[in-house]
Chains A and B, each alone.
Chain A
Amino acid sequence: MIIKNYLYNSLVMVFAGMFLVSAAPAMAKEDPPRDEPDPGYEEVYKLVGGSLPEIIKEDNKELVSLLLKPPLGKPLREAFNPDTAIKALFGRAGAPIAPGCKQIYTPSGDIDPGECQASRGEEAGGGIYKEFRFSKNMSLGNISFFDRPKAVEIDPGKLVPVRMTDQQAYDTARKFLQNTFGLPVSEETPAPPLANKAVNLSLPVKTLALGGVDREGGKFNVPVEKMVILQRGFNFRLGGTYGEYDWIPGPGKAMMVLDDRSLTSGGLREVVVRGWHEVKAHPDANPEFAKSRAMLSDEITRDLLNESTGRISKLNCRLVLDSIPTPSGVGLLLPAVQVHVSPVPADLSEDAQNALAMKSTAGFVRTYNLVELNETNPKGGEME
Chain B
Amino acid sequence: MEQKGKRAGYGKQTLLVLFLASAVAVPAAAMEVKVFAIGDFVPSGSGGCGGGDRSHWPTMVDHWYDHMGVHGHTKDGQYTNGSMTIQRFCDPDWNGGCLDYLYVDEASAAMIATHGSDSGDHWAGTMRYPWGGHCALDAGGTSDDMWVGDFDLEFIHLSSCYSADDDNLPGIRHAMYDPVDSPNNGRRAHQWNGFHGLMWIGSRFDNDYKEFAHDAHSTSISRSWVHNLYDDRVDCAGYDPWNWFGTCQEQCPVAYSIGPTGSSALTRLVNERYNYVYADPTGNNGWAYRYIVACDPSGETAFSP
Least distance between A190 CB and chain B CB atoms (Å): 9
Chain B residue with the shortest CB-CB distance to A247: B242
- Interface assignment of A206: CB less than 8 Å from any CB of chain B: yes
Q: Is the CB of B238 within 8 A of A348?
A: no
- Interface assignment of A264: CB less than 8 Å from any CB of chain B: no
Q: Is the CB of A361 within 8 A of B161?
A: yes
Q: Is the CB of B227 within 8 A of A227?
A: yes
- Interface assignment of B30: CB less than 8 Å from any CB of chain A: no
- Interface assignment of A358: CB less than 8 Å from any CB of chain B: yes
Choose among B161, B198, B295 the residue that contacts A206 (Cβ–Cβ < 8 A).
Answer: B295
Q: What sequence of 0s and 1s flags, for each residue 7-43 of chain B, a beta carbon within 8 Å of any chain A beta carbon?
A: 0001001100100110001010000000000000101
The tally of residues in B whose CB lies under 8 Å from a CB in A reads: 123
| Distance of A148 Cα from B20 Cα, bound (Å) | 23
Least distance between A346 CB and chain B CB atoms (Å): 5
With a cutoff of 8 Å between Cβ atoms, the chain A residues found around residue B17 in the complex are: 3-4, 6
| Distance of A342 Cα from B52 Cα, bound (Å) | 11
Choose among A214, A274, A340, A353 the residue that contacts B261 (Cβ–Cβ < 8 A).
Answer: A214
Least distance between B254 CB and chain A CB atoms (Å): 10
Chain B residue with the shortest CB-CB distance to A210: B290
Are A357 and B136 CB-contacts (below 8 A) given A6-B17, A231-B233, A320-B241?
yes
Q: Is the CB of A212 within 8 A of B161?
A: no
| Distance of A275 Cα from B50 Cα, bound (Å) | 36
Least distance between A25 CB and chain B CB atoms (Å): 5
Choose among B45, B53, B97 the residue that contacts A308 (Cβ–Cβ < 8 A).
Answer: B53
Least distance between A138 CB and chain B CB atoms (Å): 17
| Distance of A124 Cα from B87 Cα, bound (Å) | 36
B residues in contact (CB < 8 Å) with A: 10, 13-14, 17, 20-21, 25, 27, 41, 43-45, 48-57, 87, 92, 95-97, 99, 101-102, 115-120, 124, 126, 130-136, 151-152, 160-162, 165, 167, 170, 185-187, 198-205, 207, 211, 215, 217-219, 223, 226-227, 230, 232-247, 249, 260-263, 265-267, 269-271, 275-276, 279-280, 282-283, 285-295, 298-301, 305
Sampled A-B contacts (19; CB under 8 Å): A4-B17, A24-B132, A32-B133, A53-B239, A146-B215, A151-B25, A193-B244, A199-B244, A207-B294, A208-B290, A220-B262, A231-B233, A255-B227, A316-B238, A320-B241, A346-B249, A347-B299, A353-B299, A364-B56
A residues in contact (CB < 8 Å) with B: 1-6, 8-10, 12-13, 16, 19-20, 22-27, 29-36, 38, 51-54, 123-126, 129, 131, 144, 146, 148, 151-156, 189, 192-193, 198-200, 202, 204, 206-215, 218, 220-221, 223, 227, 229, 231, 233, 240, 242, 244-245, 247-249, 255, 257, 270, 272, 274-275, 307-311, 314, 316-320, 340, 342-348, 350, 353-354, 356-367, 383-384
